[in-house]
Amino acid sequence: MEQVIEDDSAGNKEGTSAFRKVNLEKEMEKIKYEAAFTTIDNVSRYFSGEISIGEMARNIFARLESLAAEARVFITEAVAEKIRPSVYKMIGSLRELGLPEEAVSAVRECFESLVAFAEGKADIRELGYDLSILIEDILIGRFGEVIEKKCGRTWGYLVLLAFTAAVDKVLSGINAENVQAAAEKMREFAKSAIDAVAAVSVEGAIKVRSAINTFFSENGVVL
């Protein structure tokens, strides 16, 4: 009896193709995480006064310009929409510290400017311009003295915390190392936000800690 050997080359090709697709998707997500953390690290350094707005923009541009357009998008509209109410609530706690409404609004707009950049709706020049107006003209210029007395740089750490949480919601689950890196950043920003206001007001630190804990709870963040 003649033995019939089935040709399974088509199945092998499909399996290989699927394997390559999964690997490419994972690699793309890793690159997105790198783009996100390049942005987070440089914005953090700018917020803390370590580098200028120009240096921040150049550093981010130098790393992201070589990446595919897809890799530069690391927050989705759906995630931004979902997290926005809790972000606004956390930032709104700054009112309880005595910040003027215009200053609180500027802090919210800082978050929105970062989100627009991460969604691919704004380029690095637009991000740099927006932050220079919001921070250097409003938060440091017009209200700098009041803010320094009420909460120091707490506002900046809250923005960074919210932005990192949004990034984590989009890119979590790719690998344990990246997830841990996001958790460490959120832990760092939360502590810095509380420490900054604690330096001028113990009562204020309690309010900010409560706002951060509520934010974590509402977004399922476990550090």
User: Which residue carries 């793309």 as its tokens?
Assistant: 28
Residue 103 lies in a domain: yes
Express each pLDDT in 27-65 by its tens digit: 777 788 889 999 999 999 999 999 999 999 999 999 898
Mean pLDDT over residues 148-170, rounded?
95
Q: Please, which pLDDT band fits residue 23 given cuts at 50, 70 and 90?
A: low
Residue 198 lies in a domain: yes
Q: Could you tell me the two tokens for 12?
A: 């092998």
User: CA 96, CA 85: separation in Å to the nearest integer?
Assistant: 18
Q: Is 216 helix (H, G, I), strand (E, B) or coil?
A: helix
Q: Could you tell me the two tokens for 189?
A: 């920003």
Neighbours of 122 (CB within 10 A): 18
Instruction: For residue 169, give Cα distances in angstroms to 42, 182, 219.
Output: 20, 10, 9
Q: In this predicted structure, what is the pLDDT of residue 174? A: 58
Mean pLDDT over residues 196-201, rounded?
96
Residue 110 lies in a domain: yes
Domains in the chain, number: 1
Q: Which domain holds residue 47?
A: 10-218
Q: Could you tell me the two tokens for 141?
A: 């210029």
Express each pLDDT in 59-83 by its tens digit: 999 989 888 777 789 999 999 999 9
Residue 3 lies in a domain: no
User: CA 63, CA 38: separation in Å to the nearest integer?
Assistant: 7
Residue 206 lies in a domain: yes
Give me the percent of the chain exceeding a pLDDT of 90.
71
Residue 72 lies in a domain: yes
Q: Please, which pLDDT band fits residue 24 given cuts at 50, 70 and 90?
A: low
Instruction: For residue 87, give the nearest of 222, 207, 218 by alpha carbon.
Output: 218
- Angle at which helices 124-131 and 101-118 cross, to 10°: 170
Instruction: Name the strand (E) or helix (H) holding 36.
Output: helix 9-47
Residue 52 lies in a domain: yes
Residue 57 lies in a domain: yes
